[in-house]
Structure 1
Amino acid sequence: MWPDSIHHGRKALKMAETKRERPAGLDALSLPGPQPGGQGHPVEGLVGDVRRGVEQRRYLRGMIFPEVAVVERLYGLSEKEVRSAIRRLRDEELLQLHDDYQETYFIDLGRGTPIRESADVGLVAQVAELTTRLQELSSRVQALESVVLGRDDR
């Protein structure tokens, strides 16, 4: 990634940004918005919603974060407040700025991102259950093939 400016002596020369405009209609993740009767500030709610979404694996690496204007309307925040929340999420290594598009962020789980162990255990259990079901279905398909094809492999 290129630096935003090159320092030449005491004078900094600003380089032109080479990012493209964010494409219209880019499929972004869906945020829940403020909860009715929520106690905290909407910025805290936004940051917490993204954190929980990542922990619960509703938001996965690579999913696109909504545009700032959409988040402003959804949470009733100012542009400054949304940008503050985005900065916090980037500091927590939950969001990353897209390399190709201006003003576009995506979910990116950094090295320090805690993922709840219970979610991992739940995922392992689901995979084990699906593996068992797949084996059962495979056995049934083989039995049906034997009957249909008139073979008896027993």
Structure 2
Amino acid sequence: AGGLGLNFVGANVVILFDPTWNPANDLQAIDRAYRIGQCKDVKVFRLISLGTVEELMYLRQVYKQQLHCVVVGSENAKRYFEAVQGSKEHQGELFGIHNLFKLRTQGSCLTKDILEREGRVEAGVMTATTWLKEETPLCSSEK
């Protein structure tokens, strides 16, 4: 409800489980949980499953934020995605139609790789053992 215009007076935990295509909505929900004079840190939990539409939407959010940093911010912003605009076989698609709906069932998790490169992943956060009490990591191809 934080992205819908509600200001919270006692929240310090934000759980994002339903991403939107616009990264500003999630950022607004996080900002509304932080209040002036607040002593506690705001903790943000983003629930994403490997190979789902939510993961694709989150990757688009990361791409849009990266593009914003390139256009508005610093010149040496990090690049997480390789463009396909120069390829004649992709005909100017932003991500490539095959990549858009391709499920990643094997190999590494792209979301985890991006977050690790950016340094936003703490030890144990990306494993299912932390939350689900299972022994398989979230981004594992093993079943």
The answer to whether the superposition gives a TM-score over 0.5 is no
TM-score (norm: length of structure 2): 0.26
TM-score (norm: length of structure 1): 0.24
In proportion to residue count, which structure has more helix?
A: 1
Which has the higher Rg, Structure 1 or Structure 2? 1
